[in-house]
Amino acid sequence: MESLDLLWGGLSAAATPENLMWAALGVLLGTFVGVLPGIGPAMAVALLLPVTYGLEPAQAFIMFAGIYYGGMYGGSTTSILLNTPGESASVMTAIEGNRMAKRGRAAQALATAAIGSFIAGTIGTMLVVFLAPTMADLAVEIGAPSFLAVILLAMVLVTGVLGSSRLRGFIALFVGLTIGLVGLDLNTAQSRVDFGSTLLADRIDIVVVAVGVFALGEALWVAAHLRRKPLEIIPVGGTPWLSREDFGRSWKPWLRGTAIGFPFGAVPAGGAETPTFLSYLLERRLAGKKSEFGQGAIEGVAGPEAANNASAAGTFVPLLALGLPVTATASIMLAAFQNYGIEPGPQLMTEHSDLVWTLLASLLIGNTLLLVLNLPLAPLWAKLLRTPRPYLYAGILFFASLGAYAARQRAFDLVLLLVFGALGFAMRRFAIPVLPLILGLILGPTMELKFREALALSGGDASGLVNEPLAVIVYVIIALAVAVPLVLGAVLRGRNNTPSGPTDPSGPADQKEMVS
């Protein structure tokens, strides 16, 4: 009940006309960037970080929350109407949603995606309301060795286990950790990795790195692969409301998708791609009309979209309770906390209680605004897809440069922006994931701090890193997370290389015939 009382207080703070305006702006911006292929909520939040310097923290995070949820919703529009997922988590929606659109049921596909997103987002946010304070209370009791182990677990899971290539993931993590070392050591004032330059002594601004890697890198990548062929967009016609049959086929997938998606976001190894894939497989297995799958089954849109938004809500549990981001957008939001001088982590919910509960309340408000605004605006979002890409990315480059300069008014930051933009382009060229880099950059200093605290507590003895039971358990989990996939892969390769039948020492039959 205490959580509900605090949430009610947050709703009172978030429901002021000014804050509602920021929520609506965030929702519209999020849908805008989610609709356009290649522009995700992480890029949008990174671009807007400098713009929000003049806002109160609560207003900035209300807008960021709207962008996050709006981006999740907007990705489904592109998937359904263009068969091009605006977000990687919308890939499964494209399979059935685009087929529905081609059969003249685009409005129904968009409607089940919107209603499913609303239900999943609302249930997920309420779960965050009840779970995050409990996790934060437990996290306060965690010592430095255990917290160090938890940070390492998040890094290993996000980087090495969930990515398509462990090597590329760890390369990105190493680069991020190295960038986080640049500048003066906060404890000893010794210079590190600054190549003797006083311009780097004050450390590299996270905003410059995020805007460079996400916005500039993506703009350069799209410019290098810009296609002149016009997009084939399926028009939205008819009523967006669901028929009784459509509703009857959708409500169970909405709930199942929510149940699958939330845990993947709440565990520090989240990401929305896996739960949406699992949700699609489950709905395909449980569907009454299995033959419709691949031809436009509404269950194949309802379940994955619910899983997508439930996962997005779940990411706020580790972000608010532990200060651990598990998605690119959550990483940028963590950087936003730090820019306001707020240190995310177990103390966040007690030291900045008003901000946290206002943020959680704004998630509910933004989720409702998404449903109210976006269902009737679906045809408008479809027209937005016709925006010429050169105009769009020229604007992104302009705002990226303006934002990087506005942070500290140093021309040198524009040079750094170009460097990190080139780095972002190279990472896309060689399929190196961006999230581990941002994760290493943001969590690296915290990991170093906890490492030093653990050693200080043990008088410099390395055994101090594992002198807590929780730390030992977490390190065992890390070892299993790394070893089990390797062992399973080796076993599968061994089975594939094993001949299917008994080996005849005298050789194959055709050879015996030749000998005879």
- DSSP letter for each residue of 346-367: TTHHHHTHHHHHHHHHHHHHHH
Q: What is the CA radius of gyration of the chain?
A: 24
Q: Report which of residues 408 and 417 the model is more confident about.
A: 417
The closest alpha carbon to 319, from 65, 32, 20, belongs to 65
Sorted by where each begins, the domain ranges of the chain are 1-228+238-491
pLDDT digits (tens, 9 = 90+) for 177-213: 999 888 888 777 788 877 878 888 878 888 788 888 8
Which pLDDT band holds residue 510 (cuts at 50, 70, 90)? very low
DSSP state of 278: H
> Whose structure tokens read 């580790």?
318
Q: Is the pLDDT of residue 426 over 90?
A: yes
**pLDDT reported for residue 511:** 42
Q: Is the pLDDT of residue 385 over 70?
A: no
What residues does 191 pair with on adjacent strands? 184
SS (H, E, C) 4-55: HHHHHHHHHHHCCHHHHHHHHHHHHHHHHHHHCCCCCHHHHHHHHCCHHHHC
Q: Is 369 left (phi over 0), alpha (psi -120 to 50) or beta?
A: alpha
Which pLDDT band holds residue 231 (cuts at 50, 70, 90)? low
Non-local (6+) Cβ contacts of 121 within 8 A are 69, 309, 310, 312, 313, 363, 367, 370
**pLDDT reported for residue 208:** 84
pLDDT digits (tens, 9 = 90+) for 287-343: 777 788 878 888 888 898 888 888 888 888 888 888 887 777 787 788 778 777 787
**Mean of the per-residue pLDDT values for the chain?**
79
The single-letter code of the amino acid at 403 is G
**pLDDT reported for residue 87:** 63
